[in-house]
Chain A
Amino acid sequence: MKFGVVRFPGSCDEVDALMACRRFAEADLLWHGDSDLSGIDAVVVPGGFSYGDYLRVGAIARFSPLMESVIEFARAGGPVLGICNGFQVLCEAGLLPGALLPNNSLRFVCRQVEVAVENPDTPFTRACDQGELLSIPVKHTTGRYYAPPGTLPDEQVVLRYAPGHNPNGSMDDVAGVCNEAGNVMGLMPHPEHAVDPLTGSADGGRLFESLAMVPVA
């Protein structure tokens, strides 16, 4: 089992994501200008400010050569996890429903939040129980999730902010969603920053642990 962690110009969480993946499986960085995903069993699109967030968050990264391969990989059923900016990129790429808008507060938020596992039946949450609460930090300015009415079925809501923990005004407290097939997931909180009790919580590791359980084809 091998993870590939994408690095765009402007990514800043790719090394934490790489270290988080390596707790559970092999992992390598993937450069945005390459397009080779051979030997990769799961892709992580990490947080940061890909391409400077120019135009709209995620809008330009979506067209990088590597993303074209990631889109193909996802359409073939390969697991893809987008974190924060990675979530924004996957929405822009049309792999996930909806979009991320500026926080209600118009401010950058950085705090520990609790999210409830709404759907443990995905490759990203299979190590979790229904309703399990995970303590994971958020840090973003553009994290207000929005999907047009009727475009996000309940089973595609994977994580929801616990009552009182919604940091950005996301619709229905949605913190993480998956695609219809269940093999692509995006979330605003940063599980890669919560893999060791030393930094307050190891709950984020559950997502990487879940992915590492995916049988290798």
Chain B
Amino acid sequence: MLIRPKAGILDPQGQAVERALPALGFEGVANVHVGRLIELDVEDASQVPQMCERLLANPLIEDYEVVQIGDAPVRAEPAPSRTTEEAA
């Protein structure tokens, strides 16, 4: 999920980055916005928009976009157990 500040809401973090880039000599940069990325494995991808609406994003102030990487159903398998010796 890509979660971004909604258009039109002041994004001081984006502005700060936008001001910092020319200071390093990178010119021609505009419309910088800083959001966040949430990665997860999910068995039923149809649940993801609800997850975003109810918890992962705040739709009053943020837009979200769901990007599916691979379409194979994700199977929950227990992680291989590690012995103390291996862990050490």
> A99 and B58: CB pair below 8 A?
yes
Segment from B5-13, B24-32, B40-48, B78-86 that makes contact with A: B5-13
Q: Is B21 an interface residue (CB 8 A)?
A: no
A63–B51 Cα gap in the complex (Å)?
A: 13
> A101 and B16: CB pair below 8 A?
no
**B10, B12, B55: the one within 8 Å of A59 (CB):** B55
Q: Is B60 an interface residue (CB 8 A)?
A: yes
| A interface secondary structure, majority | loop
Chain A residue contacts of B13, Cβ below 8 A: 102, 106
**A59, A103, A105, A146: the one within 8 Å of B9 (CB):** A146
Q: Is B61 an interface residue (CB 8 A)?
A: yes
Q: Is A169 an interface residue (CB 8 A)?
A: yes
B10 to chain A, nearest CB (A): 7
> B10 and A169: CB pair below 8 A?
yes
Contact mask A145-163 → B, CB, 8 Å, 1/0? 0111000000000000000
Chain A residue contacts of B10, Cβ below 8 A: 101, 104, 144, 169
> A59 and B60: CB pair below 8 A?
no
A126–B61 Cα gap in the complex (Å)?
A: 32
> B58 and A56: CB pair below 8 A?
yes
**A56, A59, A106, A146: the one within 8 Å of B16 (CB):** A106
A59–B58 Cα gap in the complex (Å)?
A: 9
Considering only CB atoms, which chain A residue lies closest to B54 in the complex? Answer: A63
A146-B12 in contact given A55-B55, A55-B56, A59-B55 (Cβ < 8 Å) = no
Contact mask B62-87 → A, CB, 8 Å, 1/0? 00000000000000000000000000
A101–B35 Cα gap in the complex (Å)?
A: 13
Considering only CB atoms, which chain B residue lies closest to A149 in the complex? Answer: B8
Contact mask A93-122 → B, CB, 8 Å, 1/0? 000001101111110000000000000000
Q: Is A192 an interface residue (CB 8 A)?
A: no
A104–B15 Cα gap in the complex (Å)?
A: 10
A82 to chain B, nearest CB (A): 16
Q: Is A92 an interface residue (CB 8 A)?
A: yes
B36 to chain A, nearest CB (A): 9
Q: Given contact pairs A55-B56, A146-B61, A169-B12, enumerate 16 new A-B contacts (beta carbons under 8 Å).
A: A55-B55, A56-B58, A59-B58, A63-B55, A92-B58, A99-B61, A101-B9, A102-B12, A102-B13, A103-B12, A106-B12, A106-B16, A146-B9, A147-B60, A148-B60, A169-B10
Interface residues of B (CB under 8 A from A): 9-10, 12-13, 16, 55-56, 58, 60-61
Interface residues of A (CB under 8 A from B): 55-56, 59-60, 63, 92, 98-99, 101-106, 144, 146-148, 169
